[in-house]
């Protein structure tokens, strides 16, 4: 049996939250339909943040009850506080995510809280969510480098992850929020995390600011991690982190891991259709590192068909 990779598709939330073009509810559902058709079974659908803070996701309350195929797709939502949790529960959310930045300055710039206050807010949300039977995921953001404080000590990341697990997290996601990590750092930190917590409850989230996202994903794989966030076409980035670029492209991750003998359950051809839909909706070109190669394969296949037709 091939080793299975679990991909959590984040384009509907992380991908859309800072786009200039605001998608309608029906447009978001069109995109999510295409993601489900491609075989993705874990999707971060939206965020129950203040509509004033992130107007692109102001329709979270209306979106969640209309999500397709909830019987086979695990939909999650980012929840910043207990008020957001109550909205999420009303909408029918069964899996929530909280985000804790590893540095004081990033928390202050992002959510106007100190590191200590942010830690407590995450604990409060997870405690309340646990009491309602929800699955709980905690992100440790800027886990390698903070745009304001620089390099982050690995010991701090492990300490914060430990605290999140101790307070109810079912999964902790180690996030390279601004795409500043390199494969050696990823391999070292993720190996330490796997040794301490086990691979089954860990995930990784990478950005492609310097073109290292796929290499960093491979480093995490070799450390034992099998759960990854990704976004079709590399859509997204952190609006509160200067210098952040798009996410690890889902199509890049699927191609690399499947060619290396892993199983994802994702159909690349259908995934590319989802990328095309996203391009139309956000009104700009998208695509991961493998886009040019995939387009070249399309051209070769078209030439083969044309030549085969010419023989008759």
What amino acid positions are annotated as catalytic residues?
Answer: 238
Any residues with CB less than 8 A from the CB of 112 and at least 6 apart, and which? none
Cα–Cα distance list, 113 to 92, 117, 128 (Å): 28, 6, 20
Measured from the Cβ of residue 41, the count of other Cβ atoms closer than 10 Å reads 18
CB 142 within 8 A of CB 241: yes
Torsion angle in degrees (nearest 10) through CA of 290, 294, 296, 298:
-170
Q: Which residues contact 280 (CB under 8 A, 6 or more apart)?
A: none
Residue 57 in tokens: 């996701």
Angle (CA) 95-157-105 rounded to 5° is 95
Angle between helices 183-197 and 213-222 (to 10 degrees): 30
User: Of 89, 173, 181, 68, nearest to 131 (Cα)?
Assistant: 89
Q: Which of 220, 205, 218 is nearest to 175 (CA)?
A: 205
d(CA 2, CA 40): 18
Query: What span, in angstroms and rounded, lies between the C-alpha atoms of 225 and 200?
Result: 8
Give SS3 for 142.
coil
Measured in whole angstroms, the distance separating CA 222 from the mean position of its chain's CA atoms is 20
Q: How far apart are CA 45 and CA 42, in angstroms?
A: 9
Other residues' Cβ atoms within 10 Å of the Cβ of residue 145: 21
């Amino acid at each position: 049996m091939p080793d299975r990779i679990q991909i959590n598709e984040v384009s509907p939330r992380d991908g859309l939250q800072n786009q200039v073009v605001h998608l309608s509810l029906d447009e978001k559902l069109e995109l999510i339909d295409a993601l489900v058709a491609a075989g993705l079974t874990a999707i971060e659908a939206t965020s129950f943040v203040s509509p004033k803070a992130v107007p692109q996701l102001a329709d979270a309350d209306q979106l969640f009850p209309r999500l397709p195929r909830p019987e086979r797709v695990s939909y999650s939502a980012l929840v910043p506080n207990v008020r957001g949790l109550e909205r999420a529960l009303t909408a029918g959310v069964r899996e929530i995510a909280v985000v804790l930045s590893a540095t004081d300055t990033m928390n202050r710039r992002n959510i106007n809280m100190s590191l200590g206050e942010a830690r407590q807010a995450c604990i409060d949300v997870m405690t309340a969510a646990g009491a309602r039977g929800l699955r709980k995921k905690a992100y440790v953001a800027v886990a390698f480098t903070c745009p304001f404080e620089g390099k982050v000590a690995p010991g701090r990341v492990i300490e914060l992850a430990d605290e999140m697990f101790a307070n109810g997290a079912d999964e902790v996601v180690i996030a390279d929020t601004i795409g500043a990590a390199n494969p050696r750092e990823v391999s070292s930190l993720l190996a330490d995390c796997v040794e301490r917590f086990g691979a089954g409850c860990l995930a990784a989230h990478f950005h492609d600011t310097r073109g290292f996202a796929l290499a960093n994903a491979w480093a995490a794989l070799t450390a034992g991690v099998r759960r990854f966030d990704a976004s079709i076409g590399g859509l997204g980035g952190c609006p509160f982190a200067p210098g952040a670029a798009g996410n690890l492209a889902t199509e890049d991750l699927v191609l690399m891991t499947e060619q290396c003998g892993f199983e994802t359950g994702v159909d690349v051809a259908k995934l590319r259709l989802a990328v095309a839909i996203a391009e139309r909706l956000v009104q700009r070109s998208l695509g991961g590192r493998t886009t040019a190669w995939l387009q070249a394969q399309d051209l070769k296949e078209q030439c083969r068909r044309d030549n085969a037709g010419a023989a008759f």
